[in-house]
Amino acid sequence: MLLFREKIPADWLPKVMADLPAVLVDHAHLERKAATSALNLEKYRDLYPRVEELNAIAIEELQHFKLVLDLLKSRGIPFAQPYPSPWIAGLMKSVRNGQRGQAIDHLICCSLIEGRSCEKFQILAAELKTADPELAKFDGGLVESEGNHYATYLLMARGIDEAETNRRLDFYLELDAKLMREPNPLPMLH
Ligand SMILES: [Fe+2]
Ligand SMILES: [Fe+2]
C-alpha cells in the first residue's frame, strides 16, 4: 500500500537501536508535531469540509503524544529538546505557496511522514520483540493508525484535485528517495 521508491537506509535500524531513550523523546515530538500538522491543515479553504476528520486525527495524535510521554515517565527519561529532521525539513521546503497547490503539497508531505512512521514502527516492533517487548508492543500498536493517516491525507489531496495530486506525489516520492539517501547520524525516527 505504501508507495515509497527508496528503502529505509540499512544504517537506520542499528542507529536507533543504539539509543532508544533518545528515539523515544524524538517520537514524543513527532506525535506532538503530527497533532499540530492536522490542525494546521484546517487553515486551507479546500479542507474546511474535512475539519471534523482533521480534528479527529489531531486528537488521536495527541493521545499518541500522551502515551509516549507516559512511557518516558515510566522509564525515567526526561522530555527534552527535539532534533530538527533534515528529511521533514527537506520535504516541507518544497511546499508551494498559494491556496490549492499549498494544500495539496502540505497534505502529500503529511501523508509521506505518516507513511514513513508506519513503516518504521513496523520495523521497530519486529526488531524489539525480544529486546524490549513493551516498546515492541507499543510501536506495533501505532502501525495501523499511522497507516490510516497516510491514506487519509492522500485521499484528501486527491479529493481536491486528483491529477495534480498524482503529479505532485511523483515529485515528492522522488524527493523522498533523494533525501533518504542523505546520511543522518542522529538517533531519530526521521
Ligand atoms: Fe501518531
Ligand atoms: Fe499519525
For 174, the enclosing helix (H) or strand (E) is helix 162-180
Residue 99 confidence (pLDDT): 86
- Measured in angstroms, how far is the CA atom of residue 171 from the centroid of ligand 1? 25
- Model confidence pTM above 0.85: yes
**Closest ligand to Cα 64:** 1
Cα separations in angstroms, 115 against 3, 79, 144, 155: 9, 25, 10, 13
Distance 146 CA to ligand 1 centre (A): 6
- How much distance in Å is there from the Cα of 12 to the middle of ligand 1? 20
Residue 19's pLDDT is what?
A: 97
Nearest ligand to the C-alpha of residue 65?
1
Q: Which residues surround ligand 2, an ion (CB under 5 A)?
A: 34, 114, 146, 149
- Express each pLDDT in 83-133 by its tens digit: 999 999 999 999 999 989 999 999 999 999 999 999 999 999 999 999 999
- pLDDT tens-digit map of 38-68: 999 999 999 999 999 999 999 999 999 999 9
Q: Taking 90 as the threshold, does the pLDDT of residue 1 lie above it?
A: no
